[in-house]
Amino acid sequence: MEFISQPWSWYVGGILIGLMVPLLLLYGNKQFGISSSMRHVCAAVLPTKIEFFNYNWREHQWNLLLVGGIVLGGFIGAKVIGHPESIAISESTRTDLSQLGITDFTGYIPREIFSIEGLLTLPGIMLMLVGGFLIGFGTRYANGCTSGHSITGMALLSWGSLVATISFMLGGIFITHLVLPLILK
């Protein structure tokens, strides 16, 4: 248990995620990605005549199992295995975050933003509503999410996935350095 409860190097996770792409393609002709899962869930549980949800969602049950495994693994990792007392981030990042009012580094996410109290503030509402809308819209507009484009699409040498991945990175840098400081101040 000691081996699994210690932080692993970034490249171990990268290799394991990277191996999923050829395994899914070779053993099932499937592409790794998460964004379509919500569509499959809606198609399964909503009895509707909306054309977008009118397809055989059962062909994609493997994807729903993947999402279920991600949720279960995250729960087990956080609640059963636990985490170190303090997240290992650089001192310069701690300083930058402290200037924005984020000082609690004992969990996986900043409690000043992602707690019930933090979510009920104007910045919290903006982060969740506007951010959620932008992520949902961007995922549909780009025809996929970061995992689909940046992992599977790049492995398949897709030009569209390269453009999407560059756009994701530039958008993240823009929000982190220009918008987030305005929201949190």
Say what the pLDDT of residue 1 is: 65
pTM of the model: 0.72
Write down the residue that tokens 């549980």 correspond to.
45
CA atoms of 108 and 105, how far apart (whole Å): 8
pLDDT 10s digits, 126-174: 778 888 888 888 888 888 888 888 888 888 899 999 999 999 899 889 9
Percent of the chain, pLDDT > 90? 9
